[in-house]
């Protein structure tokens, strides 16, 4: 019995050594993507170069509001922008994802809706 236990211990020891050596010599599969520690094969497209538009969930459109004044937004230009009609800010939709950054809204601002007084409130037309 004692000899059998020694034999099992020896086999377990050899298996452990083989496992450690195998992993140390690169027996692990190659990772790809963000966790690989190397650049991806295809270059990453900058946000500005990503095409406008894409399908946005109707449920998401119902709850999205302007980050500046918390008002409702309208889908305009064939689904490429979300517009705040109160200040003219247009938030781009890139690959179906609304980019809700105030800087982006200012960048694509519709000047015809922006107020002449500079505070971002649309001026009302008088008759």
Q: How confident is the model over 50-87, as pLDDT tens digits?
A: 888 888 888 999 999 999 999 999 999 888 999 999 99
Which structural domain, as residue segments, surrounds residue 84?
Answer: 51-107
Residue 61 lies in a domain: yes
In order, the DSSP letters of 6-39 are HHHHHHHHHHHHHHHHHHHTT-SPPP-SGGGSS-
Return the CATH number at 88.
2.20.25.10
Residue 122 lies in a domain: no
Structural domains of the chain, count: 1
pLDDT tens-place string over residues 3-46: 888 888 889 989 988 888 888 887 555 555 555 667 767 777 78
Confidence (pLDDT) at 35: 59
In order, the DSSP letters of 78-118 are TTTEEE-TTT--EEEEETTEE---HHHHHHT--TTTS-TTS
pTM (2 d.p.)? 0.56
What are the backbone angles phi and psi of residue 81, rounded to the nearest 5°?
A: -140, 155
């Amino acid at each position: 019995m004692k000899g059998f236990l020694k034999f099992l211990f020896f086999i377990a020891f050899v298996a452990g050594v083989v496992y450690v050596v195998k992993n140390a010599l690169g027996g692990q599969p190659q990772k790809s993507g963000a966790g690989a520690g190397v650049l991806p094969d295809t270059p990453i497209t900058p946000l500005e170069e990503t095409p406008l538009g894409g399908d946005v969930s109707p449920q998401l459109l119902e709850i999205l509001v302007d980050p500046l004044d918390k008002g409702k937004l309208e889908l305009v230009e064939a689904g490429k922008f979300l517009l705040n009609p109160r200040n003219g800010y247009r938030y781009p939709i890139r690959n179906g994802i609304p980019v809700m950054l105030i800087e982006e809204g200012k960048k694509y601002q519709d000047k015809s809706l922006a107020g002449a007084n500079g505070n971002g409130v649309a001026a009302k037309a008088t008759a």
